Structure 1
Amino acid sequence: MGKHADERRVDLVPGDTKTAVRSTQPPNQVQHKPVLNSLVGGAMAGAVAKTSIAPLDRTKIMFQVSSNRFSAKEAYRLIYATYKAEGLLSLWRGNSATMARVVPYAAIQFCAHEQYKRLLSRYYYPTGRPLPPLPRFLAGAFAGVTAVMLTYPLDMMRACMAVTHKEMYSSVVHMFVRIRREEGVATLFRGFSPTILGIIPYAGLSFFTYETCKNLHRDYSGRREPSPMERLLFGGCAGLLSQTASYPLDVVRRRMQTSVVTGGARMALVHGGSGHGHPAATAHPMLLMGEPRGAGGAYTSVLSTARLIVREEGFRRGLYKGLSMNWVKGPICTGISFTTFDFIQDVFRWLGLT
């Protein structure tokens, strides 16, 4: 049995301990396995990572789309007030929409990254050497853009569910039907431009940093693979750098995405109405504080939204609002995501499914 198994495996490159299945298996099975493994690993990585930081993520979005100043004390107050008013599970409000988006998004992103790495490797280093810095960045950026383009409406719906009460949208399907009927299908793509612009540095730097850390670890430690704790650390560094670089565009896209459910209620209140009947009428009370913003189509473009935020809230307090919370949740989420994906791939290799 062992001899037969050995005959079916070959070294990829001299000195490389990785093995590959010989072409004695059907060609389509050999080609499809890496894709399926990446899809499954990416889906599980995204689900585990996002669920672990869902309460912090929802709190961050609430501050991003409001005019209130952010601080750790105010964030704690908001989390506690939400828990007292709506219960513990309300802190995971919108997580179903998050899973509906993150599972396909992460699956596509990780799978696309592996495929882009293979394509770029054939051009740069067909012998199997690690990619140089620029194509390493491009592989991550292309993977992020691919995933966003295929899953964006789910991200928009998730953001809206995070800033509304459960009476407004009972499920992702209910939200889709209501927005399509009351606002039009085009509303599902509000904020698409800043998302694409932001995902390039975010995904590019994230994968670039993580892959670079692993390469440096292998070169200086003499060990082929890092430990789980080292992977968490490398992923944390990747999340810290990538989210800091792309954060202003993240704030802009959240304002554009959620204006459909936050702007109308504020305008109704200002003009003496209750806002009842408008989709924004059940927006979180925090989002109805302060002056109404986004009137006159101010949230219809990246530049107009950014200018409005800077004018009313300042550059640092506006475009970087909630960044300190992202420095807590971002590294945790990214570290868990990369570590989970690598762990799943190790399991597949151990089971002989690669």
Structure 2
Amino acid sequence: MSRLLEKPNIAMSIKSTGSQLSSTVATTATGAGTAAAAASADVEDEDASGAHDVTSASEQQSSSVTETPANSVSPSPSGRTNTNVDQVIISLVSGAAAGALAKTVIAPLDRTKINFQIRKDVPFSFRASLRYLQHTYANEGVLALWRGNSATMARIVPYAAIQFTAHEQWRRILQVDKDGSNTKVRRFVAGSLAGITSQSLTYPLDLARARMAVTDRYTGYRTLRQVFAKIWVEEGPRTLYRGYGATVLGVIPYAGTSFFTYETLKREYHEMVGNNKPNTLVSLAFGAAAGAAGQTASYPLDIVRRRMQTMRVNEANNERCPTILETLVKIYREEGIKNGFYKGLSMNWLKGPIAVGISFSTYDLIKAWLRELSHLKRGRLED
């Protein structure tokens, strides 16, 4: 190495593969009076590995050395892996932020809806829901309108992150709309599988959120930790998954319809306008339509889920309904279809489109922003 450094105008090339970066050094010795050294390193894209050249030149002579490998080099598996990992991280961060923002905005409406869902003695109406919000504000303060939101955030952040990321992966696995094809069935299946994946991994947090939403801090649970502790001691660990079957049955039409509607509207928009990146208002409108469709398709099972989750804390419901079928039969006999299975649906038509619209549009916006930052960072490394 020392002998190389003694000779002027020597270009050294060091080949590197995988994720390791090449380091090159070029020096020039003293010449006929004054000499200046210049080095340049060309780092290729992480998906391929090639030769990295450094050239040095004096004032009297400038030369460039370009080295082309004799045999073509295949794309680096490590480069593809790094790119896939980056995409997964971007999806996780974007989904978490989108879910947190959407649920925080509609938290008071969500708590109101849950309270009407689990009570058969109080008919639902917008006037009654406003009275409930006013009563909660007057007796417990404004923060009580967001009671249970800590449990919601503890659930929705991982839930939304997993759901959006799982949807991207299921789309890739099922080859949804690959090469411009229109695979509607696989588009629906990818959304359903994404919902099942996220719901299965975060269900106990959903149950805890429902318990906190239908109780107050004085007679119910003070913290999320207390919810899990009391359920574990008083009702047993299996209670943490009570209503899981109804949830999975409900998430299939909900997530499937939501993702299917949103992706289909974006596809139709692209075919009509020629722009595959709709603006924020258009994304909100598409998300709102997806939310309304998904909520309507799965709402009866959402009623069953909430009844099963809150059996022990709902004073108006003295009899236990241990199975999905028994709960469905009980609701139908005592409350009917409209006032039973679709009780509070109009509230969901208000909050659902808002939440899903914010969620989808925020996800697309943040994902595009993070991808741009990633490309800019990669570009700086290449310069």
TM-score, normalization: structure 2? 0.77
1-structure distance, mates of 2:299, 2:277: 31
Q: What RMSD, in angstroms, separates the aligned Cα atoms of the two structures?
A: 2.1
Deviations, residues 83-102 of structure 1 (Å, cap 9, x unaligned): 00000000000000000110
- Pick the aligned partner of 1:60 from 81, 104, 113: 113
* 1:260 counterpart SS class: coil
Q: Which residue of 1 aligns with 2:60?
A: none
Deviations, residues 163-182 of structure 1 (Å, cap 9, x unaligned): 00112212111110111011
Q: Which residue of 2 aligns with 1:148?
A: 199
Q: Which residue of 2 aligns with 1:277?
A: none
2-structure distance, mates of 1:125, 1:50: 30
Provide closer, same or farther for how the CA distance between residues 152 and 130 of structure 1 changes in structure 2, counting only shifts above 3 A: farther
Deviations, residues 19-47 of structure 1 (Å, cap 9, x unaligned): xxx75963432221111111111111100
Provide closer, same or farther for how the CA distance between residues 71 and 183 of structure 1 changes in structure 2, counting only shifts above 3 A: same
Provide closer, same or farther for how the CA distance between residues 313 and 118 of structure 1 changes in structure 2, counting only shifts above 3 A: same
2-structure distance, mates of 1:322, 1:5: 59
Look up the equivalent residue of 1:342 and give its one-letter code: D
- Give the deviation of 1:238 after TM superposition: 0.1
- Give the deviation of 1:224 after TM superposition: 2.2
- Is this contact kept in 2: 1:214–1:226, CA < 8 A? yes
- Is this contact kept in 2: 1:49–1:336, CA < 8 A? yes
Larger Rg belongs to = 2
1-structure distance, mates of 2:284, 2:127: 27
Q: What does residue range 314-325 of structure 1 map to in structure 2 within 5 Å?
A: 314-325=336-347
Q: Which residue of 1 aligns with 2:330?
A: 308
- Give the deviation of 1:120 after TM superposition: 1.0
Provide closer, same or farther for how the CA distance between residues 112 and 315 of structure 1 changes in structure 2, counting only shifts above 3 A: same
2-structure distance, mates of 1:253, 1:213: 30
Q: What does residue range 3-22 of structure 1 map to in structure 2 within 5 Å?
A: none
- Is this contact kept in 1: 2:332–2:341, CA < 8 A? yes
- Pick the aligned partner of 1:28 from 81, 97, 101: 81
Q: Which residue of 2 aligns with 1:43?
A: 96
* 2:89 counterpart SS class: helix
- Pick the aligned partner of 1:193 from 245, 253, 256: 245
- Give the deviation of 1:315 after TM superposition: 1.2
* 1:182 counterpart SS class: helix
Correspondence 1:257 to 2:279: no
- Is this contact kept in 1: 2:258–2:293, CA < 8 A? yes
- Is this contact kept in 1: 2:261–2:289, CA < 8 A? yes
Deviations, residues 111-164 of structure 1 (Å, cap 9, x unaligned): 00000000111xx665x3255110000000000001111110100010000000
* Count of aligned residue pairs for this structure pair: 308
- Pick the aligned partner of 1:97 from 151, 160, 164: 151
Q: What does residue range 156-195 of structure 1 map to in structure 2 within 5 Å?
A: 156-167=207-218, 168-195=220-247
- Is this contact kept in 1: 2:287–2:353, CA < 8 A? yes
Q: What does residue range 211-230 of structure 1 map to in structure 2 within 5 Å?
A: 211-230=263-282
- Is this contact kept in 1: 2:47–2:77, CA < 8 A? no
Q: Which residue of 2 aligns with 1:243?
A: 295
2-structure distance, mates of 1:130, 1:215: 11
- Is this contact kept in 2: 1:23–1:30, CA < 8 A? no
- Is this contact kept in 1: 2:113–2:344, CA < 8 A? yes
- Is this contact kept in 2: 1:144–1:200, CA < 8 A? yes
1-structure distance, mates of 2:139, 2:177: 57
2-structure distance, mates of 1:73, 1:151: 34
- Is this contact kept in 1: 2:211–2:309, CA < 8 A? yes
* 2:346 counterpart SS class: helix
**Which structure ranks higher in relative contact order (CA pairs < 8 Å, sequence separation ≥ 6)?**
1
- Give the deviation of 1:8 after TM superposition: 6.8
Provide closer, same or farther for how the CA distance between residues 6 and 348 of structure 1 changes in structure 2, counting only shifts above 3 A: farther
- Give the deviation of 1:352 after TM superposition: 2.3
- Pick the aligned partner of 1:293 from 317, 333, 340: 317
* 1:164 counterpart SS class: coil
- Is this contact kept in 1: 2:257–2:290, CA < 8 A? yes
- Is this contact kept in 1: 2:47–2:76, CA < 8 A? no
Q: Which residue of 1 aligns with 2:366?
A: 344
Instruction: Specify every segment of 5 or more residues in structure 2 that has no aligned partner in the other structure, as ranges.
Output: 1-41, 49-74, 379-383
TM-score, normalization: structure 1? 0.83
Q: Which residue of 1 aligns with 2:55?
A: none
Look up the equivalent residue of 1:66 and give its one-letter code: R
- Is this contact kept in 2: 1:198–1:249, CA < 8 A? yes
2-structure distance, mates of 1:24, 1:307: 55
Correspondence 1:232 to 2:284: yes
% identity of equivalent residues = 50
* 2:199 counterpart SS class: helix
* 1:259 counterpart SS class: coil
Instruction: Specify every segment of 5 or more residues in structure 1 that has no aligned partner in the other structure, as ranges.
Output: 11-21, 267-291
* 1:310 counterpart SS class: helix
